[in-house]
Amino acid sequence: METINNWWTNFAQKHKLVAQFVKFYAFSLFVTVLQYLLLTFLPGLFYNLTDWCSIPCQLIHLNLGPVDTYVFNYPVTGDATGGMGYFAAFAITLFLAQCVNFPMQRNITFKSKGNVWYQIAWYVVAFILITIVCSFLMGIYVPLCKQFFPPALYNVLITVINGGVQMVIYFPIYKIIFPEGEQKKN
């Protein structure tokens, strides 16, 4: 184990950006699995314990040429995969995932010692904007996945595609939000 640790330490010193991306990817993968697990069970809870899945949730309508969709498009489906219940499960899942992801990325991946409140504020702004962009993109590929794949595979595909898109967007944003080193003194 010590040999692997020494190898990784040497590698990380020589290839800092690659090492950061590997850590970022590993933590993002962990958070993606957490999201998948939560999104597997939470919608069923909302479906069984509330009537929220019978309330349509279609927010922020966009019509951009051939794309006519909602940023958050959760129509009633008659099961746990639609309506306000699924949107609530989705929102809770995203929030909890970010509560896990923020400290891991800030403290371990980027080793940032900047002002935590400033970083939280920018993280929340980035999170909201990226969630809106990814949700818009989901309006394009989710109907295709639903049409061609069974629900168990559909959930995995949606989680992987959405997680992959977010990782490509988040890494450079995190490099800005989480600068390395000590907080600058005024």
Rounded distance between C-alpha atoms, residue 37 and residue 93, angstroms: 9
Beta strands in 14-89 (DSSP E): 57-64, 67-74
Residue 43 lies in domain: 2-182
Q: Exposed, middle or buried by CB within 10 Å (0-12, 13-18, 19+), for 65?
A: exposed
Q: How do residues 67-108 score in pLDDT, each as one tens digit?
A: 777 888 888 999 998 999 999 999 999 899 999 999 999 999
Q: What is the count of structural domains for the chain?
A: 1
3-state secondary structure of 180: strand
* Token pair belonging to 3: 């040999």
- Please report the sign of the dihedral spanned by the C-alpha atoms of residue 124, residue 128, residue 131, residue 133: negative
Between residues 114 and 66, which one has the greater pLDDT? Answer: 114
Q: How do residues 22-53 score in pLDDT, each as one tens digit?
A: 999 999 889 888 988 999 899 999 999 999 99
**What pTM value is reported for the model?**
0.79
